[in-house]
Amino acid sequence: NAGVMQNPRHLVRRRGQEARLRCSPMKGHSHVYWYRQLPEEGLKFMVYLQKENIIDESGMPKERFSAEFPKEGPSILRIQQVVRGDSAAYFCASSPAGTVKNIQYFGAGTRLSVL
Amino acid sequence: EDKVVQSPLSLVVHEGDTVTLNCSYEVTNFRSLLWYKQEKKAPTFLFMLTSSGIEKKSGRLSSILDKKELFSILNITATQTGDSAVYLCAARGGGADGLTFGKGTHLIIQP
């Protein structure tokens, strides 16, 4: 039973380029969450998605960031026109539906470096 | 704004010692508190606590929640070098789907 899979593990982009981060939830999980971890900071919630729906994007920056979780395939976190301040570790978590959805299981993260 | 504060931020002990990690929270309509262990990879789920005074145990690790005083502790007895990691505390409030995390406690176990 594979865990939450994120790829790539490391991503290097130049300022102004686009970054696409992918997350495949655990088998049987229909809820996906994205978090960002800046150096010396805790994980910060960004967005919560179910299949084909964004449920809560209260933690997403208003510009350049978007997320989707299509009916087929992984969830994608997209950052357009990256800037140096976007350099961070981006973690994805998934949970099953129902009351146990309080437990979120995390992937190993994608470390984004913007040059 | 929801807030989770962990202490200490770092801790160095010798193998065999017992450690207590602290987590205090201020979360609107509190639902649950979770502990994770983070090594150089994915944060690994340890415990979820929803009720005061009920200790959760897993081997040498245990945790308890105090909803009146708004804190939780994570205890590790007979520590081993493999316990070295960052321990994350997170809280979930009502109306919020994301977890609010503390900055973590960086625990180092020396042989």
pLDDT, tens digit, for every residue of B58-86? 999 999 999 999 999 999 999 999 999 99
A interface test, pick of B6, B27, B50, B99 with most A CB neighbours within 10 Å: B99
CA distances from B10 to A44, A51, A79, B19, B95 (A): 20, 39, 33, 12, 32
Per-residue pLDDT for A80 more than 70?
A: yes
The Cα–Cα gap between A99 and B7 comes to 29
Longest dimension (CA), chain B: 45
Output the pLDDT for position B106: 96
Output the pLDDT for position A99: 55
The Cα–Cα gap between A76 and A72 comes to 12
B interface test, pick of A32, A35, A43, A105 with most B CB neighbours within 10 Å: A43
Confidence tier at A100 by pLDDT (50, 70, 90): low
Per-residue pLDDT for A94 more than 90?
A: yes
Instruction: Name which of B42, B45, B103 is nearest A42 (Cβ-Cβ).
Output: B103
**Least confident among A18-27, A29-38, B90-99, B101-110:** B90-99
- The angle at the Cα of B6, spanning A96 to B82, to the nearest 5 degrees, equals 75
Please, which residues 29-88 of chain B have a Cβ atom closer than 8 Å to chain A?
Answer: 31-32, 34, 36, 41-45, 48, 50, 88
Give the residue-averaged pLDDT of A103-111: 94
Encoded amino acid at B57, one letter? K
Output the pLDDT for position B33: 95
Encoded amino acid at A78, one letter? R
The Cα–Cα gap between A34 and B79 comes to 32
Per-residue pLDDT for A22 more than 60?
A: yes
**How many residues does this entry show for chain A?**
115
Query: Where do we find the tokens 């049987």?
Result: A28
CB contact under 8 A, B88 and A42: yes
Handedness of CA A108, A114, B2, B6 (dihedral sign): positive
**Is B101 an interface residue toward A (CB < 8 Å)?**
yes
Cβ-based burial of B3 (10 A; exposed 0-12, middle 13-18, buried ≥19)? exposed
Output the pLDDT for position A105: 93
- The list of chain B residues with pLDDT below 50 reads none
CB contact under 8 A, A42 and B4: yes
Output the pLDDT for position A42: 87
Output the pLDDT for position B46: 96
The Cα–Cα gap between B75 and B47 comes to 12
The Cα–Cα gap between B81 and B2 comes to 33
Give the residue-averaged pLDDT of A51-59: 91
Give the residue-averaged pLDDT of A14-21: 98
Residue among B31, B5, B108, B21 at smallest CA distance from B73: B21
Instruction: Name which of A41, A104, A108 is nearest B41 (Cβ-Cβ).
Output: A108
Encoded amino acid at B75, one letter? N
Output the pLDDT for position B25: 97
Per-residue pLDDT for A1 more than 70?
A: no
Q: What are the chain B neighbours of A38 within 8 Å (beta carbons)?
A: none
